[in-house]
Amino acid sequence: MSSDWKVEIVECGDLVQDDDEVTPPGEAERRWNRYVELADSVTGNEGPAGVAAIVSSLKAEEDYGAYQAAHAALSRFPHSDLGQGVAHAAKELLSIPKDGSGNILLILAQAGPAAVNAFNEAIQTADPDVRVSIRRLVEFHEAREWLSGGSARNVLLMPRQ
C-alpha cells in the first residue's frame, strides 16, 4: 500500500459525528464508506507503518461500526508488526478516545507473546514522557474494562520498572 493509503485512512477515520452541522450532506456517508473500504483492503503486508496508520485513524468518539473493519484489519498483520506498529503510534494512542485505545491494547494483548514482546521492545525507543503516559494508559485500562481480564492484565509493559 502506498503512503497515500495511510494518509487517506487517517483522514477518513475522522468520521462525521451526529452533532456536526458543518459537513455537507452526503459527506458523512461517503467518508464512512471509504474508511471501511480502506480498512477492508488491508492485507497485513503493510508493515508496522500500516498498523500505526490504522491506530491513528481511530479519532472519532462514535464510529457507527466503521472501526470494526479496522480491528479486523489489525488481525491480518504478523504479530511482530502489530506490536511494533502500536508502539510507533504511541502518541496517537494517547490522543484517541479511551474506548478506542482500550480496544487496541486488548487486541494487542490477546494477539499473544510475539505481538506483546514486539510492542514492549519498540516502546522502549519512544520519548520518555510518552512511555510514562502509555504506562498510565495501560494501568487505566487494567483498572477498568478493557485490560481487567486475567489474560490481558499485567501483560503489556512488563517488567514494571
Nearest partner of 46 among 101, 85, 17, 98, judged by Cα: 85
* H or E element that contains 30: helix 27-40
* H or E element that contains 85: helix 79-88
- Range(s) of the domain holding residue 13: 3-143
Q: Does a structural domain hold residue 95?
A: yes
pTM of the model: 0.91
Q: Does a structural domain hold residue 152?
A: no
**pLDDT greater than 80 at residue 2:** no
pLDDT digits over 107-152, tens only? 999 999 999 999 999 999 999 999 999 999 999 999 888 888 777 7
Q: Does a structural domain hold residue 96?
A: yes
Mean pLDDT, the chain, whole residue set: 91
Q: Does a structural domain hold residue 65?
A: yes
Number of domain units in the chain: 1
Q: Does a structural domain hold residue 57?
A: yes
Q: How many CA atoms lie within 13 A of 44 on its CB side?
A: 12
Answer for the pair 51, 88: CB distance below 8 angstroms, yes or no. Answer: yes
Q: Does a structural domain hold residue 7?
A: yes
Q: Does a structural domain hold residue 138?
A: yes
